[in-house]
């Protein structure tokens, strides 16, 4: 009996290790799941690596990326954005397949502002190399005062962008009517802080004021729960992954109310309604996003 119990214990440990290699949770430190990809002198670890500071000055911006890619899952970070006059800066948090002309990509881009103006978050979605699906929302709070949680939920049914558990964008899987949906290419998790004053603030009218540099953004609570690649090939298609559960296949009633509230009160641009760019709305707009 003791041998049987020992065997079951060892088997359960092996199973737990196998699952943890594909469905990862929040790392203890930044460097456990991420690496610096651009200008390591401009990223500083804080609190033993459990938080980081990104720096933009006239010499450089900076960036980091996950060590692995993921196919479906729930990705979130807590971010405190640049305070004061941040016009011309972009702080980005996104997923990217890094496959050039056929890339899939899911973007949060936080567009800097002049002091006293609302912070704008731009989202974009690329499927098989096709992007130009921008939506912009003015945040209803000051994201530079404290940390807020930004989340990408990606499953077989839809992609949802959340700000503090409030959905600000939904992109449904409409493959049934031949609309492309990212499901085959694993994506890494990336973040960058950079200067883009040719377009970021009021279409480039507001330029960066380098006298306010350095510009600082802070990150913590890096939470990745998804199917890591390389990893078990069956993970991405496993309907028992929690993010594929019934509760996550569509917005619930509370989320739907919040989503409508954001679109009615805080959305300032939607490519679906831009008749100059798209005299005929893209098919996914007609299908419902």
Give pLDDT tens digits for 190-246: 999 999 888 778 777 788 999 999 999 999 999 999 999 999 989 999 999 999 999
12 versus 68: which is more confidently predicted? 68
pLDDT at 9 over 90: no
Quote the tokens at residue 197: 């004053």
Q: Average of pLDDT values for 258-281?
A: 96
Q: Which residue among 32, 105, 134, 225 is the active-site one?
A: 105
pLDDT at 4 over 50: no
Q: Is the peptide bond before 230 cis (omega within 30 degrees of 0)?
A: yes
For residues 107 and 187, the answer to whether their CB atoms sit within 8 Å is: no
Domain total for the chain? Answer: 1
Quote the tokens at residue 79: 């971010």
Q: Which residue among 109, 195, 206, 284 is the active-site one?
A: 109
pLDDT band at 26 (very low <50, low <70, confident <90, very high): low
Is there a domain that residue 25 lies in? no
pLDDT tens, residue by residue, 31-56: 989 999 999 999 999 999 999 999 99
Is there a domain that residue 17 lies in? no
Is there a domain that residue 21 lies in? no
Told to judge if 105 belongs to the known catalytic residues of this protein, a careful annotator would answer: yes
pLDDT band at 22 (very low <50, low <70, confident <90, very high): low
Told to judge if 165 belongs to the known catalytic residues of this protein, a careful annotator would answer: no
What is the C-alpha to C-alpha distance for residues 116 and 207, in angstroms, rounded to an integer?
Answer: 16
Determine the pLDDT at residue 19: 44
Domain that holds residue 216: 34-286
Q: Average of pLDDT values for 256-262?
A: 97
Angle (CA) 215-221-222 rounded to 5° is 90
Is there a domain that residue 14 lies in? no
Is there a domain that residue 87 lies in? yes
Is there a domain that residue 76 lies in? yes
* CATH code of the domain covering residue 38: 2.60.120.200
Is there a domain that residue 261 lies in? yes
Is there a domain that residue 26 lies in? no
pLDDT at 122 over 90: yes
| pTM of the predicted structure, to 2 decimals | 0.90
| Cα–Cα distance list, 126 to 167, 197, 216 (Å) | 19, 23, 28
């Amino acid at each position: 009996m003791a041998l049987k119990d020992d065997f079951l214990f060892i088997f359960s440990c092996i199973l737990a290790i196998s699952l943890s290699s594909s469905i990862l949770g929040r790392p203890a430190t930044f460097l456990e799941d991420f690496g610096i990809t651009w200008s390591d002198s401009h990223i500083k670890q804080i609190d033993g690596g459990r938080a980081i500071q990104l720096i933009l000055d006239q010499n450089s911006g900076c960036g980091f990326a996950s060590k692995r890619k993921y196919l479906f899952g729930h990705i979130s970070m807590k971010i405190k954005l640049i305070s004061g006059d941040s016009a011309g800066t972009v702080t980005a948090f996104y997923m990217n397949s890094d496959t050039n002309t056929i890339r899939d990509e899911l973007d949060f881009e936080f567009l800097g502002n002049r002091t006293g103006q609302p912070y704008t978050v731009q989202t974009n979605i690329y499927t098989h190399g096709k992007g130009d699906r921008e939506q912009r929302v003015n945040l209803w709070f000051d994201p530079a005062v404290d940390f807020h949680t930004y989340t990408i939920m990606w499953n077989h049914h839809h992609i949802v962008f959340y700000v503090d558990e409030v959905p600000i964008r939904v992109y449904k899987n409409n493959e049934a009517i031949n609309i492309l949906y990212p499901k085959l290419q694993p994506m890494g998790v990336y973040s960058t802080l950079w200067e883009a004053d040719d377009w970021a603030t009021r279409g480039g009218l507001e330029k960066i004021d380098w006298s306010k540099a350095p510009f600082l953004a802070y990150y913590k609570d890096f939470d990745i729960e998804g199917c890591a690649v390389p990893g078990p090939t069956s993970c991405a298609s496993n309907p028992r992954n929690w993010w594929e559960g019934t509760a996550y296949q569509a917005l619930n009633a509370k989320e739907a109310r919040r989503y409508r509230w954001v679109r009615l009160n805080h959305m300032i641009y939607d490519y679906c309604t831009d008749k100059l760019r798209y005299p005929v709305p893209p098919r996914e707009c007609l299908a419902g996003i």
